[in-house]
Each structure stands twice: as C-alpha cells, then as structure tokens.
Chain A
Amino acid sequence: DVKVTQSSRYLVKRTGEKVFLECVQDMDHENMFWYRQDPGLGLRLIYFSYDVKMKEKGDIPEGYSVSREKKERFSLILESASTNQTSMYLCASSPSGGTNSYEQYFGPGTRLTVT
C-alpha cells in the first residue's frame, strides 16, 4: 500500500521566515511533486522531480525551491514566507514508465498559514 507522508498537517509561520515542508514516500517512486491547492484554482504544480537531485519548475515556482537528496524524500522550501503563500500544500509521488506513471499518490496535505 503506497504511503506518502507530510511532516506537518498544520503550520503557522510569520512573514519572512524560512519554511521547510517535508514529504516522504515509501514505494520507491521515481517521480515526486509539490502542489498548492487554493479555492477556485484547483491543484497548481510548484515543482517536480523525476530523480534524485533532479528538479523541474512547475507552473508557479516563484518564491519556492526544492531539494531531493534521497529518492524517498522531497522537500519544499519557502525562502522568505509571505502571506500570499498561505495555502494547502500537497505532495505526490508516482512510478516512472508506462501509464502507471500517470497515477499520482498524494499525501494528506499541509495547511500553511503565514501571518
């Protein structure tokens, strides 16, 4: 059973703080993703990674960076948190190769509030 875990369910940070969101998957998946979900805007891709130390920008990478030092772990970093980064953050993973790579497995999400 695929499991994707995220380090926190709820997080409150102050403007200007550096924020780390951690994601771990236990199914040896090559691909990992970070999304944010906002009302009326669906899921928007921030960054994704298809291998260790590899990363690609998604649709809204501004203000974010990522790190993937180990295959099972994908971290999202807010270098200097701002109030417009208040959102639900979702991590996902998928295997590589064939149509199985299209199905993504999501973590429970982290509700981040920046005050």
Chain B
Amino acid sequence: DQQVKQNSPSLSVQEGRISILNCDYTNSMFDYFLWYKKYPAEGPTFLISISSIKDKNEDGRFTVFLNKSAKHLSLHIVPSQPGDSAVYFCAATVNTNAGKSTFGDGTTLTVKP
C-alpha cells in the first residue's frame, strides 16, 4: 500500500515557464508535507514544506499548495531554470512518528534552455 504517490515519473518544461509537480497521499493522519530535490550522485536536500493547517507556502520561486480534501499537494516552480533539473521527492509525516517520513517515488524534472 503506497501511501504517497507521484504519478508522473518525469516532466519536461522550457526554461522560464512554470513547472508543476504533483503528489497524492492516502493516509489522512499525515499532517506535514515536504519536498526534497536530488541531483545525481548526491543525497536529497530539503526544498520546502507545508503544515496541514495551511494551504499554501511560498519560498522564492517555489510554492507548495495543499488540498487536504483531495489529499493532494503540488510544487510550483516559477520561473523554471536549467539548474532546477533534478529528481523531486514528495514526503509526508505524522506528528507522532519521531520525524519518520514516507516518500513518494520521485519525479524527474528536466528544464530545457
């Protein structure tokens, strides 16, 4: 039972346009969500997060939207840059789980110059 799903394995966008990465979850107990970015041969790095009490969190070019009723979150990157090309992982956690997160499969974003 995969509790966090990223249904698009890959996404390709043109530089300067918007990138939208999607994530769906099934466990209604999740109350905090994170996005990580991973370059080849490196470990993932934290990008942005959102608490379940919010529906939007913005940090520069990156915005995460949460729709709790649909159990869906999305990451928007505007404008996209070639350096954003990476694998993006969505993660979800429950407050009582000692920091343990459940990760999605990842989406490979390619931003073309």
Contacts and interface: CB of A to CB of B under 8 A. Distances in A.
Interface string A15-43: 00000000000000001010100001111
B103 interface: yes
Interface residues of A, number: 30
A40 B98 contact: no
Contacts, number: 67
A108 B44 CA distance: 8
A48 interface: yes
Contact of A105 (B46, B49, B98, B106): B46
A42 B105 contact: yes
B32 interface: yes
Interface of A: 4, 9, 31, 33, 35, 40-45, 48, 50, 56, 58, 90, 92, 94-96, 99, 101-109
